[in-house]
Structure 1
Amino acid sequence: MAEYNYEDYNSSYESSREEHQHFLQFKKVFLPCTYLVVFICGLVGNSLVLVISIFYHRLQSLTDVFLVNLPLADLVFVCTLPFWAYAGIREWVFGKAMCKTLLGIYTINFYTSMLILTCITVDRFTAVVKPTKAYNQQAKRMTWGKVTSLLIWVISLLVSLPQIIYGDVFDLDKLICGYHNEEISTVVLATQMTLGFFLPLLAMIVCYSVIIKTLLHARGFQKHRSLKIIFLVMAVFLVTQTPFNLVKLIRSTQWEYDAMTSFQYAIVVTEAIAYLRACLNPVLYAFVSLKFRKNFWKLVKDIGCLSSLGVSHQWKSSEDNSKTCSASHNVEATIMFQL
């Protein structure tokens, strides 16, 4: 994993050997189990979002463009987790080339996911605060969205080069995939904190503050639902990402904490919480949408999973009702509904 570096495996000098051994056993079980859970849930959720976005939404809006790139990044990200899970249980047995490749893939998709989240936030800001302009310039925004998505993948590749170049396999009681370079570690941490935490956080605070103010003055039945979704998105981001980034920041400024077993527990647990975003993103950014849920039931029906117990009829009635309701709303209400 990206956090598998040389310093992580220095023995604790302040803690007893027995306490440190307990921590190593805990880490050996807890992280691989967490990786596998995130892998399974993230694989299913992001695959569904990707299939529905491509074959049913057919990239009809800027939101659809981002909802292809976000699950794609998260999907590739979770596919690296089984390798790290095995390495946590045993050791790194996949060789130096695979080490560099997986470090690169892991990091590229981490940055891509976070930057796409930032773009989704800005897109929602434009759709709610300037709905008429967003609607009239939909084709132009689609073009810019595709260009922006391509640039994000390129930027993510560029900022991931240090991990790819300096990634290596080290023999520290067991074979470990990571990188051991103090200057590179500092650069990597600064980049991860800036692009992977502070930039999305700043975008959410600024954009969602204005969106909330706009919704509070708006008329429409979707207002309260939209506010709940906004608060949920903010809460999930803060709860999953803040602890791990805070712990990494503390470790970078106070290296003596790295010798404390209790602090090592904090790193492991907060890392596991941070990776839950790959499971929660599909729910937060796709399944809350009525349009997505409708297309999900279409997918279920198309692959023959609906039984003859009236589910198909219920889905059809719901679809007809939603179409009737949609037709009666103006542009602003429709765009606000995308929240």
Structure 2
Amino acid sequence: MESITEGYPADYSSSFDYSELEEHAPCIKSKVGALFLPALYSVLFVTGLLGNSLVIFLLVRAVKLKSTSDVAFLNLAISDLLFVVTFPFLAHYARDQWVFGDVLCKIIMGLYHVGFYGGIYFVALMSVDNCLAVTSSGYATKTTTAKTSLAISLTVWVISFGSSFPEVTYNQVINDGEITCRPLYPQTAITALTILHIFKMNILGFLIPLTVLTVCHAVAIRRSPVSQAIKNQAVKRVSCIVLAFLVFWTPYNIASFLDALHHFHIFDDCESSKMLDLSLQITEAIAFMYSCFYPLVFIGIEEKLKRYLIKKFTRNLSTHGHAVKTQLSLTVISNTASVAL
């Protein structure tokens, strides 16, 4: 019987270097976010919906929208609401495939991007307004007109809508073994437009607003010709804005920047790609918390709102106590009458 190695060189080895296959094998990624993102998005949706709705109610009822900053905060709450209404869809999407169709794919992702940029830009507008209010004693009286505040807010909305391009035009349902909702870029520009999207978020959605917040914060502290009470109120508000913005948005922007490097193939091994995907999911969830945390900060540092809430609570408590006393008195009278009979 012939040997199966007959005809091969004497130094032939039947062993095979499987590491070469591993380098070129497809990178299979499990949906790690499916384990925790649906529950987290659900909690953030409820919290953000209630918090921002409360802010809108309080601004309309208690503050009466008397300044550009108040109008900006109203629009901030509206943009955050646009943002958080996408969370239930994202919660299901994180657990499963996209099942809501092409129309909702475009609408939900459009709301996501407009709400994202709108929320950040209105925070920056509030910081600029607070800075000017602190450094200029006559600024407040010059910018309290409804037309001025409305014009500024509309401008911010237009910029927010413009910042969401070109992603909103390319979003659609894609079925390539798994049904997803994502931008379908032209084949010749996939890498370029993906990197543009990431750097645009880093620059327009983080670096420029952070610069505005930091400069306004520094100027508000150093230059204050107005009263100490107004200065303290404005500085406290801006300090909370800057700190919250840094805490919630910095991790996600770092992860996004690393994702851009991944598209440049600076590192593209499978394990790094998996870790990057997980980092993006976790840091994005942290960034989403900003829309829920911010209303609580506003209510906590805005004296007019705290006084309004305390007044309403005290009045309701007093009314409830009076009703209880009345009921007790009627009960006593009724019992006394029964005994007398």
- TM-score w.r.t. the length of structure 2 is 0.76
Match of 2:297 in 1: 284
CA 1:121–1:299: 2 relative to 1, 3 Å: same
Summarize the alignment of residues 166-185 of structure 1 with structure 2, pairs less than 5 Å apart. 166-181=170-185, 182=190, 183-185=192-194
How many residues are aligned here? Answer: 291
Q: Deviations for 1:122-170, whole angstroms, at most 9, x for unmatched residues?
A: 001001111x221331435x53321111111122222324222110112
Does the CA-based 8 Å contact 2:199-2:257 persist in structure 1?
A: no
Percent identity over the alignment is 28
* 1:108-130 Cα deviation digits (max 9, x unpaired): 11111111011000001001111
Structure 2 alignment gaps of length 5 or more: 1-21, 323-341
Structure 1 position 129 matched with structure 2 position 135: yes
The aligned residue for residue 76 of structure 1 is: 82
**Do the aligned partners of 2:67 and 2:149 also contact (CA within 8 Å) in 1?**
no
Alpha-carbon distance between aligned partners in 2 of 1:258 and 1:71, rounded to the nearest angstrom: 41
Hey, what's the Cα distance between the residues in 2 that align with 1:173 and 1:147? 47
The answer as to 2:100 corresponding to 1:94 is: yes
Question: Counterparts of 2:194 and 2:318 in 1: how far apart (Å)?
Answer: 51
Aligned partner of residue 66 in structure 2, secondary structure = coil
TM-score by length of 1: 0.76
Aligned to 1:295: 308
1:12-64 deviations in whole A, cap 9, x for unaligned? Answer: x77x999943xx2x310222222111111101110000111123322222222
Q: Give the partner amino acid of 2:154.
A: L
Unaligned runs of 5+ in 1: 1-12, 311-339
| 1:57 pairs with 2:63 | yes
Greater radius of gyration (CA): 2
Which segment is superposed worse, 196-205 or 251-260?
Answer: 251-260
Deviations 1:215-268 (A, max 9, x none): 6x9874676676555433222111111110111112112333573222222111
Q: Which residue among 129, 146, 164 is the counterpart of 2:150?
A: 146
Find the aligned partners of 2:133 and 2:239 in 1 and give their Cα distance: 18
Q: Distance in 1 between matches of 2:124 and 2:82?
A: 19
Superposition pairs of residues 1-339 of structure 1, within 5 angstroms: 20-21=29-30, 24=31, 26-130=32-136, 132-140=137-145, 142-181=146-185, 182=190, 183-214=192-223, 220=228, 227-255=235-263, 256-257=267-268, 259=270, 260=272, 261-297=274-310, 308=320
Counterpart AA for 1:154: V
One-letter identity of the residue aligned with 1:113: G
CA–CA separation in structure 1 for the residues paired with 2:172 and 2:91: 18
From the superposition, tell whether residues 301 and 93 of structure 1 become closer, same or farther in structure 2 (CA, over 3 Å): farther
Provide the C-alpha distance between the structure 2 equivalents of 1:178 and 1:204, rounded to a whole number of angstroms: 31
Q: Letter of the aligned partner of 1:133 in structure 2?
A: G
SS at match of 1:59: coil
Give the Cα–Cα distance (whole angstroms) in 2 for the partners of residues 91 and 121 of structure 1.
40
Which structure has the higher relative contact order (CA within 8 Å, separation 6+)? Answer: 1
Say which SS state the counterpart of residue 139 (structure 1) adopts: coil
